[in-house]
Structure 1
Amino acid sequence: MERDELKLAEGEAEAPPSPAPREAAAPAWATAAVPAVFVLLWSSAFIAAVLGTDAAPPLLLTFARFAVAGVLLAVIAAVSRSPWPRGRLLVHVVVTGLLMQAVQFGAFYTAIGEGLPGGVVALIQGFNPVLIALLAGFFLGERITRQQWLGFAVGGAGVALAVAGALDFSGSAIVLSFVGLLGLSVGTVYQKRYAQGADVRSSTAVHFLASAPVMGVMTLALEDPEVTDWAAFGGSLAWIVLINSVGTFLLLNFMLKKQAASRVGTLFFLTPAVTALLAWLAIGQTLNWPAVVGLVLGGAGVLLAARK
């Protein structure tokens, strides 16, 4: 009896464990909706930035955004037990964050703070796909087809029309906007080349935490860090942190893992037209016919550039 029980116990010990249940895959419609959600949320950042820079200096707003978003994402990464980048990968993630966060938004927010309309900043940012395509082709070896170049051309025309109108341009603000564009484009390609293995949650937290001290030093050195309207500042900061900092960059990093950098970059063609539409809905700015035509052309350009 004891031998039978022993054999039974040994048989049970040697039995292979039952396979763990697989995690349910995301529905196809949810994956397909990611680019559209990304464009909508990304475009809303320009409206929030206009409101935020009216209430506080731009670099102070940028510092607050990075500090709060960095801590929030660090908590999310810790709770979800996301692996943190280490060694050389950590260095690449930090460089990516400084380019895509500190350079891009420090320059963009300062340009908006100097009076350059958010739509014009979105227009300059809209050239990101062309720059990414050139950089990705040179550094990553990604092949750009004739159809994609046609999409870039059509989308570029849509970008220009979407924000056409009589605007007062500031020379230094326009230069800063192109600096921000360069930071975004180079950072996107750099991440695709050197930081592909990093976890989305922890790496995005590192982006913000590495950029916050830089912005903190800059706002103390270059600005009078004083908030004039705490309600507007708090509302703008909450939106920028929760929606734009956490939501959009998690989506951006997710798409960069799944698609070629040049294809992800084409989504930025839609930003100016969607920004104009949101400005009309949120703050009552009239959507004129160039913006409508630009929206159509921008969508057509994305369709051409993104199709296989």
Structure 2
Amino acid sequence: MPPRDQLRALLVAVVWGLNFPATAVALEHFPPLLMVALRFTLVAVPAVLLVPRPQVPLRWLLGVGLGIGLLQFVFLYLGMAAGMPSGLASLVLQASAPFTVLIAGIWLRERITRRQALGIAVAVLGLAVIAVHRAQVAALLPVLLTLCGALGWAFGNVCSRQARAPKPLHLTLWMSVVPPVPVLALSLLVEGPDRVVTALRTTATAAALPSVLGLLYIVLVATLLGYGLWNSLLSRHPAGLVAPFSMLVPVVGVLSSWLLLGEGVDRTELLAGLVVVAGVLVASRPPRRAPAGTPPPEPVVGTGAVVVGAPPSGYGR
């Protein structure tokens, strides 16, 4: 991955890390399912009116919308509403990175080098240290809900990789068409019409202003900018190279939640965060050029004929 794309991936990590305290603030006013519906409705309406439909097969558009749009955020917001701290949520959600590599290895037959596997293992170790250290602050259900969100994100990542959208921003905008109707129906069923109407009716009040600003950050910055860059990277690089950068998100998430919301952070979490950074850097380094005639390094993930850096089998189908 060239340095410019590495910087873009780092920018996505910062944007998404700040997304977690913004989400915590927004959830103080909006019920979680309603917030998912609002988030994507605010993107879907102008997308349908102003942006051409992305030139990708419908199955991959639906897959990205279902995974990244619906499953990830329904489970994440439910988990945070159930008591998951925003900093810890930013950590647990990054299980999407190993989930993505695993799904890509099985489904797309993408291979990963030993260096990349080592980097991912180091990053996962750092995440595990933070998770164990903070396990006492969250009940089991919020953690499980957030892990389900991570699995949905991974599924959407692989669908985005397969879509190979010529204009990734169009895919980012149009994936927002998938969640609003089913999630709004679910919100009315689970959260109830009274709660939904009350939240919408009081949106313009001073008390709701911080939550509205949090929602706008989520829509304009985390969704449009973040996923625009993310899908662009996935359209040009194998999922195994892009996904490890998402492990940097909890470092930003934990620190920003500490600074903005007063959530606790200590030396153990900071040191483990540095381990995560080191793992991502190792995983993202390009392999050394082998001398002429040297066999390629033996892959450690995947069983097919596709290597990291080459288009996956099935590209364009």
Quickly name the TM-score band, shorter chain normalised: 0.7 to 0.9
Q: Does 1:307 align with 2:289?
A: no
| Offset at residue 199 of structure 1 (A) | 2.7
Instruction: Report the counterpart of residue 43 of structure 2 in structure 1.
Output: 69
Between the aligned partners of 2:16 and 2:276, the Cα distance in structure 1 is 15
Instruction: Report the counterpart of residue 16 of structure 2 in structure 1.
Output: 42
| Offset at residue 120 of structure 1 (A) | 2.4
Tell me the TM-score normalized by structure 1.
0.82
Report if aligned partners of 1:101, 1:207 keep a CA contact under 8 Å in 2. yes
Instruction: Report the counterpart of residue 299 of structure 2 in structure 1.
Output: none
SS in structure 2 of the partner of residue 291 of structure 1? helix
Among 149, 156, 171, which residue is 1:180 paired with?
149
Q: Does 1:171 align with 2:145?
A: no
In the TM superposition, 1:228-307 aligns within 5 A as: 229-307=207-285
Q: Residue 44 of structure 2 aligns to which amino acid in structure 1? A: G
Between the aligned partners of 1:123 and 1:105, the Cα distance in structure 2 is 15
SS in structure 2 of the partner of residue 165 of structure 1? helix
Between the aligned partners of 1:84 and 1:281, the Cα distance in structure 2 is 40
Instruction: Report the counterpart of residue 57 of structure 1 in structure 2.
Output: 31
Report if aligned partners of 1:50, 1:118 keep a CA contact under 8 Å in 2. yes
| Offset at residue 248 of structure 1 (A) | 0.6
Instruction: Report the counterpart of residue 152 of structure 1 in structure 2.
Output: 120
| Offset at residue 280 of structure 1 (A) | 2.3
Higher deviation after alignment, 273-282 or 239-248: 273-282
In structure 2, runs of 5+ residues without a counterpart are 287-317
Which structure has the larger Rg over C-alpha atoms?
Answer: 1
Among 49, 68, 75, which residue is 1:107 paired with?
75
Report if aligned partners of 2:168, 2:235 keep a CA contact under 8 Å in 1. no
Q: Residue 248 of structure 1 aligns to which amino acid in structure 2? A: G
| Offset at residue 160 of structure 1 (A) | 2.8
Q: Does 1:212 align with 2:180?
A: yes
Between the aligned partners of 2:74 and 2:260, the Cα distance in structure 1 is 24
SS in structure 1 of the partner of residue 134 of structure 2? coil
| Offset at residue 197 of structure 1 (A) | 3.5
SS in structure 2 of the partner of residue 143 of structure 1? coil
| Offset at residue 29 of structure 1 (A) | 6.7
Between the aligned partners of 1:217 and 1:274, the Cα distance in structure 2 is 33
| Offset at residue 162 of structure 1 (A) | 4.0
Q: Residue 183 of structure 2 aligns to which amino acid in structure 1? A: M
Q: Residue 252 of structure 2 aligns to which amino acid in structure 1? A: V
Report if aligned partners of 2:88, 2:254 keep a CA contact under 8 Å in 1. no
CA change 1:291–1:74 in 2 (3 A) is farther
Report if aligned partners of 1:159, 1:298 keep a CA contact under 8 Å in 2. yes
Aligned residue pairs: how many?
Answer: 274
| Offset at residue 108 of structure 1 (A) | 0.2
Instruction: Report the counterpart of residue 128 of structure 1 in structure 2.
Output: 96
SS in structure 2 of the partner of residue 167 of structure 1? helix
Instruction: Report the counterpart of residue 4 of structure 1 in structure 2.
Output: none
| Offset at residue 166 of structure 1 (A) | 5.8
Between the aligned partners of 2:46 and 2:262, the Cα distance in structure 1 is 33
Q: Residue 43 of structure 1 aligns to which amino acid in structure 2? A: G
Q: Residue 104 of structure 1 aligns to which amino acid in structure 2? A: Q
Identical-pair percentage: 26
Higher deviation after alignment, 254-263 or 173-182: 173-182
Between the aligned partners of 1:197 and 1:243, the Cα distance in structure 2 is 21
| Offset at residue 32 of structure 1 (A) | 4.1
Between the aligned partners of 2:169 and 2:113, the Cα distance in structure 1 is 33
Between the aligned partners of 1:186 and 1:32, the Cα distance in structure 2 is 22
Superimposed CA distance per residue, residues 137-176 of structure 1 (whole angstroms, 9 cap, x where no aligned partner): 1122211111112111110122233453363333332221
Report if aligned partners of 1:152, 1:301 keep a CA contact under 8 Å in 2. yes
